[in-house]
Amino acid sequence: MKALGAGAALGALGWSTLGAGGGDTGGTSTVTDLDEHTGTVHDVQTLISGPPSNPDRPADFFYEPTGLHVAPGDVVRWTFTTPDHNVVGIHPAFGMRRRVPLGVDAFSSPLMGFRPDTIPGDMVEPPAPPAEEGGSDGNETTGTVTGTMTETTGTGTTGTETGTTMTGTTDGGDGGAMPAGPVPDTWLLSLQTPGVYDIICSPHEGFGMAMRIVVGDETTAPFETSDPEALPEPRAGPVGLSRVTLTDPALQPETVVERGTVSWSDLESVGGEDEGDDDGDDEGDGTEAGTGTTGTEAGGTTY
C-alpha cells in the first residue's frame, strides 16, 4: 500500500508517500509526482448535501462515489471539495475490528480541507462552499468542483495539483499570480492488496460518512454483513449511521465490482434502489462506472 499526496506524513512500513519532501524514512520513500505511475487514478470527492436523507443527521456527509472498484496498484485520489474530513481505514491500530484485508497496514490521511497555501493570512471566516462561490461549471472561482475531476491514466499528473489547480488567477500584489480562491486539497492512496477496504471519515462517521473500495475481484470479506445489528458494538465496530452505510445492499462487494462505482444516491438508505437503476445511472449524476468522475447531487444543495 502506498500513500500518495501532499501532507501525507505516513511512517508505516511498506508505505510510500508521494508529495513534497525528500528522503527515505523507515520503509517509506518520497517522490515528487505521479509521472512514474502507469495505472488508473480514480477520483473521490468529500461532499455535504441537504436536506438530510436521515433525520438523525444535520446533512448528508459522504464520499462520492461511495463504492469503488479498482485494480491492484491503482491510485485513489480524494479531493476535499468540502473541508474538515479525512480518510481512515478501519483497522485494529485505531481500536477497531479489521475491515481491510489481512496484511494491510493501518492508513489514515490527515484532517484535510483547503490547501493552506491558498488561504490568505488575514482570512478570518471560512471560505464559502464551492456551490455558493459562483460558477456551477467548476471553472470560475474554485476550479475544482464538478467538471474538473477526471480519470487520469499515465503521466503528467502531480501528486498535489492535479484536479485542484485553479483555472483563474489574481494578482498577488507583488506581480505574482496566486490562486483565485481557496483550493481543495487532495490525498492519494495506492492499493495493491486485493480485497475489501472499508473507510470512514472520523469527524463524520456517526453521520454515516463511510465508503467501500474493492481492489481486484476478491469480494470475500470475513466482516461482510448486510445486518447492522450483526456488526461489533462501537468502538470495535463502526459508529452511528456508518453501520447503516457499510451494510447497505448497494455496497455489497459483488455489487461494487459489477457496477464499478456506486453513488451515494444509489444507497437504499438514502433512497436509492439496489441494483435497480443500471439503465439509469446516467441521469445527470456525473458518475460512470470505472471513471471515478463525480459530482452527484443527493437532493437539495450539494457543497
Question: Which residue shows C-alpha cell 475481484?
Answer: 217
Distance (Å, whole) CA 163 – CA 151: 9
Task: Confirm if 163 and 45 have CB atoms less than 8 A apart.
Answer: no
Distance (Å, whole) CA 199 – CA 112: 15
What is the per-residue pLDDT for 57? 97
Mean pLDDT over 171-186 rounds to 64
Residue whose C-alpha is closest to residue 1's, from 191, 129, 128: 191
| CATH for the stretch 41-153+167-303 | 2.60.40.420
pLDDT digits (tens, 9 = 90+) for 235-245: 999 999 999 99
Distance (Å, whole) CA 39 – CA 175: 39
Q: Write out the three cell numbers for 240.
A: 452511528
Residue whose C-alpha is closest to residue 216's, from 262, 257, 261, 249: 257
37 vs 174, higher pLDDT:
37
Distance (Å, whole) CA 136 – CA 126: 20
Which residues, at least 6 apart from 49, have a Cβ–Cβ distance to it below 8 Å?
59, 60, 62, 297, 298, 299, 300, 301, 302, 303
pLDDT digits (tens, 9 = 90+) for 204-246: 999 999 999 999 999 999 898 889 999 999 999 999 999 999 9
pLDDT digits (tens, 9 = 90+) for 28-79: 222 235 666 667 889 999 999 999 999 999 999 999 999 999 999 888 999 9
What backbone torsions phi and psi does residue 269 show, to the nearest 5 degrees? -70, -15
Q: In angstroms, what is the C-alpha Rg of the chain?
A: 18
What is the per-residue pLDDT for 272? 80
Q: Write out the three cell numbers for 241.
A: 449511521
Task: Confirm if 50 and 43 have CB atoms less than 8 A apart.
Answer: no
DSSP label at residue 191:
-
Exposed e or buried b per residue across 98-110, where buried means at least 16 C-beta atoms within 10 angstroms of its C-beta:
bbbbeebbbbbbe
Instruction: Determine if residue 275 is left, alpha or beta; phi over 0 gives left, psi from -120 to 50 gives alpha, anything else beta.
Output: left
What is the per-residue pLDDT for 61? 98
Which residues is 189 bridged to in the sheet?
Answer: 3, 76
Handedness of CA 255, 258, 260, 262 (dihedral sign): negative
